[in-house]
Amino acid sequence: MKLELGFIKISDIQFSKECKVENGTLYVDPEAVKAFMYEDDDVKAWVKDFSFDVAKPGESVRITPVKDVIEPRVKVEGPGGEFPGVISKVDTVGSGKTNVLRGMAVVTAGKIVGFQEGIIDMSGPGADYTPFSKLNNFVVVAEPVDNYQEHKHEYEHAVRIAGLRAATFIGELGRNVTPDETKEFETYGIKEGIEKFPNLPRVAYVHMLQSQGLLHDTYVYGVDAKRSLTTILNPTETMDGAIISGNCVSACDKNTTYHHQNNPVVADLFEQHGKTLNYVCNIITNENVYLADKQRSSDWTAKLCRLLDLDGAIVSQEGFGNPDTDLIMNTKKIEQVGVKTTIITDEYAGQDGKSQSLADADPLADAVVTGGNANEVIILPAMDKVIGTLDYVDKIAGGHAGSLREDGSIEAELQVITGATNEMGFNCLSAR
Amino acid sequence: MGMIGNPHDFLILTNNPLVMDCLDGRGDYTIEYHPELNHRAILVKARDLIHKGHILYTHPLAGSVKPNETPYKSLIVSLVPHGMESEHEIMIGNAIAVYDKFCKIDWSDNEQALRDFQLIDYTLLCGAIGYDAAAGLSNKNH
Amino acid sequence: MSFKVVHYINQFFANIGGEEMAHVAPELRDGIVGPGLAFQQAWKGEAEITKTVVCGDSYFAEHEKEAKAQILEWVKAENPDLFLAGPAFNAGRYGYACATICKAVQDELGVKVLTGMYEENPGADLKNSILIVSTANSAAGMRKAAPAMAKLAMKVMKGEKLGASVEDGYMNQSVRVNFFDKERGSKRAVKMLLSKLADKPFTTEYPMPSFDRVAPNPAIKDLSKATIALCTSGGIVPKGNPDHIESSSASHYGEYSLAGVNELTEATYETAHGGYDPVYANADPNRVLPVDVMRDLEREGKIGKLHETFYTTVGNGTSVANAKKFAAEYAQKLLKAGVHAVIMTST
């Protein structure tokens, strides 16, 4: 499957009546975006209002609580459309041409639950820990209808759809723009791949998806990953939004939709594809709470690795606690069928860094990359502007009562920063 | 062997009132409700049963909300002993160790946050037993 | 105003002599001796070695108490900003001396310390207590070790926050420390996998803790016919601890007869374990070694019999290697005596 991505560099966002992308600036009418979002019945039913804002790199701005981050893209040639099974129809994506508005993102914000869900600081020490401080962010703050407390599932769904619709609306503005840069990505069928690269090790990416319940879900072509059996995906499908995030907890190691669209393992495997390895495919698997599901999923992951005659696999996980068990189960079983693994995780080694980092372990997991210790305490200075709300920041993860200090600064663990210890290896943060 | 995996064999240990409100009497499982026990005490209760040969059906560390934050914990063990599984003993022991390494945060003065923690715990439980969480909320026992 | 440093070296680096001079007692010299020059040059005037302590490696090993006392006295009088020792590379007694004297200076005088040696040097056992720079395994590595140690020493003297062990070149202190790598995690993972696939060496960023799992034997079919032995790491010993089992880091185990003993009493047994409050174990040692309950079960026919010998040691701080050694030995004795199962109590 072959996909060409066309990158349109966005370096500024301006509100204006006319919606277009010109000379690296996105001109957009928030009212038009709002109208487009409200075309969806669920959004209409559960969201009282939206407000909009722009946050640029280097500004003294704090966005919180962050629900999702999405990159605007548009399918310009080939089958299907962005976010298949959710916004577009279920046609298989990942081929043809897709334009990408690079350098910006749609950020959805606003309370869904009463405890904190994520902070993006556009400057200051916190900015170093999130990749989203480097983007021009079009922020959509959602306000729920009055009786949403009894309908959190419906509200979460509505905000999720709204964000994807906003990204779709804005992505569409890039349809007829000539990209600044194009890049091609191609993977081959099993037989074709072996013939083309007879001497290169066959490598797949085992991509574990968070799948436990409200605020802990991932959707593949619109299907709840909780309900899915382990299966295969072409890597380029992820570039068209085949996987979207319904995961809001915990901020530091949840994969936003932006992470799924810009999966760094996919990108870095492609860098080596045809040179030092043959990138065969992605294997997606879930992280259910029910133990028999964990066993079935990991058995199937190993089964597929063996069936595909792989030499090696990179395994990434998502989330805290019980996914460590899936990670270790997957790693053990894959190693036991003779396929070598390297895994990516983050750590919860306590504020002093002395506790055991993972909830599970096995000596077969001998090649580990870490996204850092999420319990490390950081002081986030007050920002001039807050987009969203600071309600409940006083008690956010890792803080103690008094997390939010009088001067507006926040003392909390890295946990609270969106994307800080990402387990796909998106960041340079590590630990020893 | 036929019993294992059958909802008749599910014993739900919980301190979450929302689980009682939505799930009590709605399926073949048994619910043991302990509002007097805190998060850790529920884990310890499960551990004690595991030592007596009950097995775990769900992972004790469900969800990414940290154990020091949420006061609510529901998990499923077998109603009858099936022979002790050492893997499960290690799992529950590790879960308690994880609980102990986090600094505690007290949310008890925030009504809405407590209700949200109940909601998350409840939906994670529903995810495990294949129960439609949203539908359950509209259909509570009162 | 530059920082004041006291440097500790052995007889070899002080040019007094080799092995044959390792017995020399500590001497205090003014200024720099030997490798101190390399450090001072690296510091470019920001710090100065005002005194050098020279001590024979054998002397330190054989007269540790006196050596420590004398050196601490000198260091206290000089009141330096840093106490620097070595580097010792792979010289075992030198490394031990460097690490030990550093720990003493740090703990008893509150002076900042730094030393350097090869990872496998026995002195490296103290890496969690003091800062040890990782060096090559021979003095040929001095060209790299001196500047590395000098750099870290300056950071320490200035009170700057240290980076992760891998960044600043010191031995990992079993504390996870975050830092920003040059490359993102996914790239590091792809590189690591390629090395692994090519059977090339790679270093994991997180070494898994080793749990040394032992697969359980099959369950006993008929307990009523079984001989069960009691063993413990809780330190229960006959009153007076006749074999002097240590209260921590036990160097041996005890083997005692339970013939004619129906239960343990305060008068006849005690605990040697230094890691828990002994009051309740001393008042009723059955709490740690349940002889009384085992005798009940014996009488009731629930078990065949309680084995007439029990094996005991103290688990407090005892090394895994020793624990394995003891058990491997007495397990054979238990097998020979026809024991079917063991109840091992700990605390």
CA–CA gap between residue C97 and residue C57 (Å, rounded): 7
Q: Does residue B108 or residue C290 have the better pLDDT?
A: C290
Nearest CA among C153, C66, C148 for reference residue C112: C153
Supply the mean pLDDT for chain A: 94
CA–CA gap between residue C312 and residue C236 (Å, rounded): 6
Is the pLDDT score of A393 beyond 80? no
Is the pLDDT score of A10 beyond 60? yes
Query: What's A132's DSSP letter?
Result: G
pLDDT digits (tens, 9 = 90+) for A32-61: 999 999 999 999 999 999 999 999 999 999
Does A339 contact C at CB distance below 8 Å? no
- Tell me whether residues B123 and A294 touch, CB distance under 8 A: no
Supply the mean pLDDT for chain C: 93
Does A345 contact C at CB distance below 8 Å? yes
Q: What is the mean pLDDT of residues B90-116?
A: 85
- Tell me whether residues A397 and B58 touch, CB distance under 8 A: no
β-bridge pairing A340-347 and A243-247: unpaired
Tokens of B129: 């037993």
pLDDT of residue C211: 65
Tokens of A54: 């722009």
Confidence of residue C319 (pLDDT cuts 50, 70, 90): low
Q: What is the mean pLDDT of residues C241-245?
A: 92
Q: What is the mean pLDDT of residues C271-286?
A: 92
pLDDT digits (tens, 9 = 90+) for B29-73: 999 999 999 999 999 999 999 999 999 999 999 888 888 888 999
Chain C: closest CA distance from residue A316 (Å)? 9
Confidence of residue A283 (pLDDT cuts 50, 70, 90): very high
Provide the percentage of residues in chain C whose pLDDT is more than 90: 79
End-to-end Cα, chain B, rounded Å:
37
Lowest mean per-residue pLDDT among A332-336, A340-344, A365-369, B97-101: B97-101
pLDDT of residue B1: 46
pLDDT digits (tens, 9 = 90+) for C163-217: 888 889 999 888 899 999 999 999 999 999 999 999 999 999 999 887 667 778 8
CB atoms within 10 A of CB B35: 9
Is the pLDDT score of A81 beyond 90? yes
Chain B: closest CA distance from residue A405 (Å)? 16
Same domain assignment for residues C144 and C27: yes
Is residue C35 a part of any domain in this protein? Answer: yes
Residues 350-409 of A with CB under 8 A from B: 350-351, 355-356, 359-360, 375, 392, 395, 397-401
pLDDT of residue A152: 86
**Residue-range domain boundaries for chain A:** 2-416
CATH code, domain with C44: 3.40.50.2300
- Tell me whether residues A431 and C175 touch, CB distance under 8 A: no
Domain count, chain C: 2
Is the pLDDT score of A419 beyond 80? yes
- Tell me whether residues C193 and A312 touch, CB distance under 8 A: yes
Is residue C292 a part of any domain in this protein? Answer: yes
Is the pLDDT score of A398 beyond 60? no
Q: Which residue of C has its CA nearest to A339?
A: C197
pLDDT of residue A396: 60
pLDDT of residue B86: 86
Same domain assignment for residues C162 and C19: yes
pLDDT of residue B12: 97
Query: What's C111's DSSP letter?
Result: -
Is the pLDDT score of A418 beyond 50? yes
Same domain assignment for residues C133 and C266: no
Tokens of C220: 């006993």
Chain B: closest CA distance from residue A350 (Å)? 6
Is the pLDDT score of A149 beyond 90? no
CA–CA gap between residue B42 and residue C310 (Å, rounded): 37
3-state secondary structure of A15: strand
Nearest CA among C199, C19, C145 for reference residue C94: C19
Same domain assignment for residues C16 and C103: yes
Nearest to A354 among C166, C174, C179 (CB): C174
**In this structure, is the dihedral angle defined by the CA atoms of residues A24, A29, A34 and A39, taken in order, positive or negative?**
negative
Which DSSP string do the residues of A320-388 spell out, in sequence order? SSHHHHHHHHHHHHHHHTT-EEEEEEEE---TTS-S-SSS---TT---EEEEEETT-EEEE---SEEEE
CA–CA gap between residue C189 and residue C191 (Å, rounded): 5
Is the pLDDT score of A150 beyond 90? no
Confidence of residue A115 (pLDDT cuts 50, 70, 90): low
Does A428 contact C at CB distance below 8 Å? yes
Same domain assignment for residues C126 and C269: no
Does A286 contact B at CB distance below 8 Å? no
Q: What is the mean pLDDT of residues B4-15?
A: 93
Q: What is the mean pLDDT of residues B131-141?
A: 83
Which DSSP string do the residues of A145-206 spell out, in sequence order? -TTGGG-HHHHHHHHHHHHHHHHHHHHHTTTTSPPSEEEEEE---HHHHHHH-TTSPEEEEE
Is the pLDDT score of B87 beyond 80? yes
Q: What phi and psi values does residue C6 have, to the nearest 5 degrees?
A: -105, 130
A with C: how many residue pairs have Cβ under 8 Å apart? Answer: 150
Is the pLDDT score of A116 beyond 70? no
CB atoms within 10 A of CB A145: 16
Same domain assignment for residues C158 and C271: no
Catalytic, A252? Answer no
Is residue C205 a part of any domain in this protein? Answer: no
Chain B: closest CA distance from residue A20 (Å)? 40
Tokens of C247: 């209260």
Q: Does residue A181 or residue A361 have the better pLDDT?
A: A181
pLDDT of residue B131: 87
Residue span of the structural domain in which C55 resides: 3-168
Same domain assignment for residues C145 and C227: no
Helical H segments across B8-110, by residue range? 17-23, 39-51, 86-101
pLDDT digits (tens, 9 = 90+) for A286-300: 999 999 999 999 999
> Which one of C149, C168, C187 terminates a domain?
C168
Is the pLDDT score of A400 beyond 60? no
Confidence of residue A394 (pLDDT cuts 50, 70, 90): low
pLDDT digits (tens, 9 = 90+) for A220-246: 999 999 989 999 999 999 999 999 999
